[in-house]
Chains A and B, each alone.
Chain A
Amino acid sequence: MLQGALAGLAAGGLYAALAVCLTLMSRLVRVVNFSQAATGMFGAFVAVWLVTAAGLPIWLGSVLGILLAGALSAAIGWIAATWLSEASTTARSAMTVGPLLLLISLSFILFGNKPQPFSPILGGPAFEFGGVVVSQVTVVMVLLAVVVAVAVQLILTKTAVGTQLRALSERPTTAELLGIPSKPLSIAVWAATGVISAIAIVIVAPSQSNDATSLAMLIVPASAAALLGGFTRPGLAVVGGLALGVLSGLVAQIEEVALIRNFLPFLFIVVLLLWTQRKEVWDSAR
Chain B
Amino acid sequence: MSSLVVDNVTVSRGAGPVIANVSLTVTPGEVTALVGPNGAGKTSLLDGISGVVGVSGGRIVLDGDPIEKLSRVARVKRGLLHIEQGRAVFPSLTVRENLSLTARTGADMDAAIGRFPELEKRINSPAALLSGGEQQMVVLARAFAAKPRFLLIDEMSLGLAPVVFMRLLPYVEELAQSGAGVLLVEQFTHLALGIAREALVVAGGKVGYHGPASALRDDSELLHRAYLGGSAA
Contact = CB atoms under 8 A, between A and B. Distances in A.
Is A–B contact present in the complex under a CB 8 A cutoff? yes
A178 B146 contact: yes
A166 interface: yes
A168 to B, nearest CB: 9
Nearest to A173: B52
A135 interface: no
A170 B89 CA distance: 9
B52 A177 contact: yes
Given A177-B52, A179-B76, A171 B81 contact: no
A174 B90 contact: yes
A176 B82 CA distance: 10
A50 interface: no
Interface in B7-26: none
B3 interface: no
A126 B72 CA distance: 53
- Interface size band for B: 20 to 34
A263 to B, nearest CB: 36
A160 B99 CA distance: 11
Contacts of A171: 88, 90
Contacts of A52: none
A178 B139 CA distance: 11
Contacts, number: 55
B155 interface: no
A182 B90 contact: no
Contacts of B97: 163, 166-167
B98 to A, nearest CB: 8
A163 B76 contact: no
B87 to A, nearest CB: 10
B149 interface: no
A164 B101 CA distance: 7
A178 B102 contact: yes
Contacts of A177: 50, 52, 72, 76, 81-82, 84, 88
A163 B101 contact: yes
- Interface size band for A: 10 to 19
Nearest to A163: B97
A174 B92 CA distance: 14
Contact of A178 (B52, B92, B101): B101
Contact of B92 (A170, A176, A179, A182): A170
Contact of A166 (B73, B81, B92): B92
Contact of B73 (A167, A170, A174, A181): A181
B60 to A, nearest CB: 15
Given A173-B52, A178-B76, A178-B142, A163 B81 contact: no
Contacts of A166: 90, 92-93, 97
B90 to A, nearest CB: 5
Interface in B82-126: 82, 84, 88, 90-93, 97-98, 100-102
Label chain A's interface by main secondary structure. helix
A155 to B, nearest CB: 14
Contacts of A164: 101
A174 B152 CA distance: 13
Contacts of B50: 177
B77 interface: yes
A180 B73 contact: yes
B90 A179 contact: no
Contacts of B88: 171, 174, 177
Contacts of B76: 176-179
Interface string B40-52: 0000000000101
Nearest to B80: A177
A179 B84 contact: no
A195 B210 CA distance: 56
Contact of A176 (B72, B98, B142): B72
Which one of B77, B81, B88, B90 has the highest number of Cβ atoms from chain A below 10 Å of its Cβ? B90
Nearest to B127: A170
Contacts of A180: 73, 101
Interface of B: 50, 52, 72-73, 76-77, 81-82, 84, 88, 90-93, 97-98, 100-102, 142, 146
Which 9 A-B pairs give the minimum distances between C-beta atoms?
A: A179-B76, A176-B72, A177-B82, A170-B90, A167-B90, A174-B88, A163-B97, A178-B101, A181-B73
Given A176-B76, A182-B73, 5 more contacts: A166-B97, A174-B84, A176-B73, A177-B50, A178-B101
22 contacts: A163-B100, A166-B90, A166-B93, A166-B97, A167-B90, A167-B93, A167-B98, A167-B101, A170-B91, A171-B88, A171-B90, A173-B52, A174-B88, A176-B73, A177-B50, A177-B88, A178-B76, A178-B101, A178-B142, A179-B77, A181-B73, A182-B73
